[in-house]
Amino acid sequence: MTTKANVAPAIKVEGLTKRYGRRTVVDDLSFTVRPGAVTGFFGPNGAGKTTAMKVIAGLSRPSAGEVSVQGVPVAARVPYAGRLGVHIEPCGAHPGRTARAHLRALALLAGLPRRRVAEVLELVELADVAGRRVGTFSLGMRQRLGLAAALLGDPEILVLDEPVNGLDPQGIRWLRKMLRDRVASGGTVLLSSHLLAEAAQTVDDVVVIDRGRLVHAGPIGAVESLEDVFLELTGGSER
């Protein structure tokens, strides 16, 4: 029988370093993401969050260190949409392509059934505008389209970089419920956000980095105010 004490991390980051020329963006970073939880990944602008998430997603190679997903090193992992869903930065859709066409192309590349496109469009509440060109979408609609792409494979783990950007209050509430529902069903989420008060309502665990280095990791229940802890640990500036 497996107990919580010996469950392997969903994501394990060990000594991760990423350099661009002489500039070190992520510096000897180590943390874990436990399965069945939402982990908030926080830090000031330029702290290295997006860079670290790109390495976790296999979109960038580390300069040093290792990242594993469900015990498998990212470098050796065969891409599989049912394991990891990723939304980092813009949705990536051509502005002249419809939302439906964009998702159908992604589903075809991933070997997923075409019916899954309609399912995720309903899930992210874009079904009524699926025939519109992405270039006509608002930022919030493009965010939802990016989330739809991440959800195509119904993945066990979601890696989401600033998923609330552009969402209105109703959209933020929808996202929170969707993520909590996935975790309740056994899923795992790693997300970054600058909306700390909102994130505090969503996350179970907290990882804070500053200048590419870990400054705090632990359960949200051990933090009285996520905003106060963030400001204290990072010097209170948005660098």
pLDDT for 207-220, tens place per residue?
Answer: 999 999 999 999 99
Q: Count Cβ neighbours within 10 Å for each residue of 162-186 and write b for 16 or more, e otherwise.
A: bbbbebeeebbebbbebbbebbeee
- Burial-class residue 238 by CB neighbours within 10 Å (0-12, 13-18, 19+): exposed
Nearest to 80 by CA among 157, 7, 184, 180: 157
Q: What percent of the chain has pLDDT over 70?
A: 96
Residue 6 confidence (pLDDT): 62
- Identify whether residues 71 and 161 lie together within a single domain: yes
Domain at 5, CATH number: 3.40.50.300
Q: Are residues 33 and 5 in the same domain?
A: yes
Confidence (pLDDT) at 238 = 43
The average confidence (pLDDT) of the chain is 92
In this prediction, residue 239 has a pLDDT band, given cuts at 50, 70 and 90, of very low
Whether the full predicted model's pTM is greater than 0.85, yes or no, is: yes
| Same-domain pairing of 71 and 171 | yes
User: What is the pLDDT at residue 235?
Assistant: 75
Q: What is the pLDDT of residues 151-183, one digit of tens each?
A: 999 999 999 999 999 999 999 999 999 999 999
Give the domain extent around 124: 90-153
**Type of residue numbered 89:** E
The tally of domains found in the chain comes to: 2
Domain boundary among 153, 175, 202: 153
Alpha helices in 24-138 (DSSP H): 49-56, 99-110, 115-123
Which pLDDT does position 90 carry in this prediction?
77
Residue type, position 86, single letter: V
Answer yes or no: do 46 and 22 share one domain.
Answer: yes
Longest Cα–Cα distance of the chain, Å, equals: 52
Is a pLDDT exceeding 70 seen at residue 230? yes
Same-domain pairing of 161 and 227: yes
Asked if 144 and 203 sit in the same domain, the reply is no
User: What distance in Å separates the CA atoms of residue 29 and residue 24, rounded to the nearest whole number?
Assistant: 11
Classify residue 114 by its DSSP letter: T
Last residue of a domain, one of 153, 180, 206: 153
